[in-house]
Amino acid sequence: MPRFWNVSRNADVALAVLLLTAVALLSVLVPLSWPPDPLRGVLTATFQPPFSVVGEQVHPLGTDQLGRDLLARLALGTAISLGIVLVAEIISVVLGTTLGMIAGYFGGWVDVVIMRAVDVQLAIPFILLILLIVAVVGPGIGNLVVVLGVTGWAVFARVARAKTLEIRELEYIDAARAIGMSKFAIIRRHILPNIVGPQTVLLTLDLPRLIILEASIGFLGLGVQPPTPTLGNLIGEGRAFMLIANWLVLYPGIVIGALVIGCNLLGDWLVRRADSRAA
Amino acid sequence: MIPVKALSFVAGRALQGIVVMFGVSVIVFFALFLTGDPAAVMMPPSATRAEIDAFREAMGFNDPIWVQYGRFLGGVLQGELGISLRYRRPALDLLLERLPATALLACTALLWSSLLGLVLGIISAVRKNSAIDFVIRVISLLGQAVPVFWLALIMIIVFALKLRWMPSGGIGTAKQLVMPSLALGAYYLSAMTRLVRASLIEVLGENYIRTARAKGVSNWRVVVHHALRNALIPVVTVQGMYFAALLGGAVVTEIIFAWPGIGRLAVDSIQNQDFPVVQAVVLFAAFVFVVVNFLVDVAYLWLNPRIRL
């Protein structure tokens, strides 16, 4: 493989890093350092367009129907949405990888049961199942994280199983078995380390799905409840005022877009890198 | 005559679909019991203790849970998906009334986006690394990046509120179908374009394509007659997965454009705590998904003779 730097490939990763860094800075630095309160507004300063100045305070992204600063709300909403999505994704990865490795290593009826559960999970439209569960258990942040996490494990289980089936046949696994290592020790010490790489790539490519799903639930008003902002419920709330204050809908969508594009480009790059190593 | 292996493949996939539907029915049934007391979840918050108790008795929630599941499954198998608590009518009837609207929206979105996606994917693959390829790739990246509901709202702001070219919602005229189907199809268009491009580029690198070119077959004939058929195999196999995304997108699209389909029925029912209707919609959507995937598997068999033997 000749080691030359393809300009367009570099541009991909650069753009991904740029977008993801910008969103990360927005969600971390702004809540820590930007003075306006994201939850309490100034009722004399409602629906101020972007870059307007009220008293001493600049509102770079404008204000909402209660005179709350949109930049402050957007930053907090991004942080909350990202937190929900990342914790849920970790639950999915851990659950899926564990079940996938068990299915792949043990085979037999264990494999059959787990893989049919994967099919069932993939057959149910996520959004409807999640809406049903959230409607039953209530719309708290904790509930949402658990529901999103528990319903997203199937793809990770599939990949972990396929990878385990491949590794299981290698000689060093025979050797480990011959010296009397237990099955779970083999899975943990010899199979898991080989699965971490592919699962990281898959996680990057799965994040956009979850980001949009969380935002859709928030938009429908069935996720985290206002006044606590999330990327989805900001758009859902802003929808009622979009004729007079379209910035309330515009900016949260741009943040979602930046996140999704960033993850997709990064994921594509990770796939390409893994492919060129294997070749 | 149809070979035995093909028949057993089809039968196997059908059996798998039945097992999946059984699993879905278990999940949809037990979702109601997550809090332990479905009666309290389904009654309005203002209901008294006595009212909840009476409702629990009437719904049969006091019976052993496996008896309740048996009753539920028996009903589903006979096409009875429960009674709407709000409308006092069979949930299946409500669902079937709303089905044509969703089918119209989904089919229109699928039609334009898959045809355009096919064309853009071919152009992009044939003119790989050109300016037009770059533009098409940027468009497909953006199309997958924005949520359906955001795209829909921006379209309403621009085309309905500002320019006043389009109605912002409702159903009945062809004009009212334009924006919902555009919003819903955008993601699918991107996915399709990317898939066709990647698959076609791979096939165009094969030896038999070089042979065809060496024989002097024209460029477009190579693409259309020799490459496209093989390039479409991986595209067809993942259609089933994207169909689930389409259903999810239909839910929010219908809400935004006041489109009276089953997605809107589901969300309205959740907000009204009309759970039998929600269960019916989830079961129905999963059923459609399973049937579509079965058809995709059969199409795969037809497209790829190697597994037919």
The pLDDT value recorded for residue B2 is: 63
CATH class entry, domain B96-308: mainly alpha
**For residues A247-268, average pLDDT:** 93
d(C-alpha B273, C-alpha B35), whole Å = 14
Interface of A with B in 2-21 (CB under 8 A): none
Residues of B in contact with A222 (CB under 8 A): 267, 270-271
Burial B49-71 (b: 16+ CB within 10 A, else e): eeebeebbeebebeeeeeebbee
Hey, is the C-beta of A87 within 8 angstroms of any chain B C-beta?
no
Query: Taking a C-beta distance cutoff of 8 angstroms, is the pair B153, B256 a contact?
Result: yes
**Is A11 within the bounds of a domain?**
no
Rg (CA), chain B: 24
The pLDDT averaged over each successive group of 10 residues in chain B (309 residues) is 75 88 89 78 79 82 84 86 87 92 91 92 90 90 87 90 85 86 91 90 88 85 85 79 77 91 90 87 88 84 67
Residues of A in contact with B142 (CB under 8 A): 257, 261
Report the 10 Å Cβ neighbour count for A189. 11
d(C-alpha B133, C-alpha B139), whole Å = 10
Query: Taking a C-beta distance cutoff of 8 angstroms, is the pair B257, B91 a contact?
Result: no
Among candidates A119, A135, A242 on the partner chain, residue whose Cβ is nearest the Cβ of B153? A242
Q: Report which of B80, B105, B103 is spatially closest to residue B92, judged by C-alpha positions.
A: B80
Domain segments of chain B: what residues? 4-77, 96-308
Cross-chain Cβ contact B24/A124 below 8 Å: yes
The pTM is what?
Answer: 0.88
**A129-154 residue pLDDT tens:** 888 888 888 878 888 999 899 889 99
d(C-alpha B82, C-alpha A68), whole Å = 45
Residue B130 token pair: 């050109």
Amino acid (1-letter code) at residue B307: I
d(C-alpha A94, C-alpha A46), whole Å = 45
Q: What is the ipTM of this complex?
A: 0.84
Instruction: Say how many CB pairs under 8 Å bridge A and B.
Output: 142
| Residue A97 structural domain | 18-278
**Is A5 within the bounds of a domain?**
no
Report the 10 Å Cβ neighbour count for B86. 14
Task: Determine the 3-state secondary structure of B106 from DSSP.
Answer: helix
The pLDDT value recorded for residue A2 is: 42
**A173-202 residue pLDDT tens:** 889 989 989 888 999 899 999 899 889 989
Say which residue the tokens 């929600």 belong to.
Answer: B278
Task: Determine the 3-state secondary structure of A69 from DSSP.
Answer: strand
Q: How many Å separate Cα B243 from the centre of its chain? A: 3
Q: What is the CATH number of the domain that holds A161?
A: 1.10.3720.10
Say which residue the tokens 């809908």 belong to.
Answer: A249
**B126-154 residue pLDDT tens:** 988 888 999 999 889 888 888 888 999 99
β-strand partners of A57: A54
A41 vs A10, more confident: A41
Say which residue the tokens 């129907």 belong to.
Answer: A65
**Is A136 within the bounds of a domain?**
yes
Query: Taking a C-beta distance cutoff of 8 angstroms, is the pair A173, A186 a contact?
Result: yes
The pLDDT value recorded for residue B307 is: 61
Q: What total of structural domains would you count in chain A?
A: 1
Among candidates B35, B150, B161 on the partner chain, residue whose Cβ is nearest the Cβ of A235? B150
Backbone dihedral angles phi then psi of residue B69, each to the nearest 5 degrees: -65, -40
Hey, is the C-beta of B72 within 8 angstroms of any chain A C-beta?
no
- Mind spelling out the 3-state secondary structure of A2-66? CCCCCHHHHHHHHHHHHHHHHHHHHHHHHHHHCCCCCCCCCCCCCCCCCCEEECCEEECCCECCC
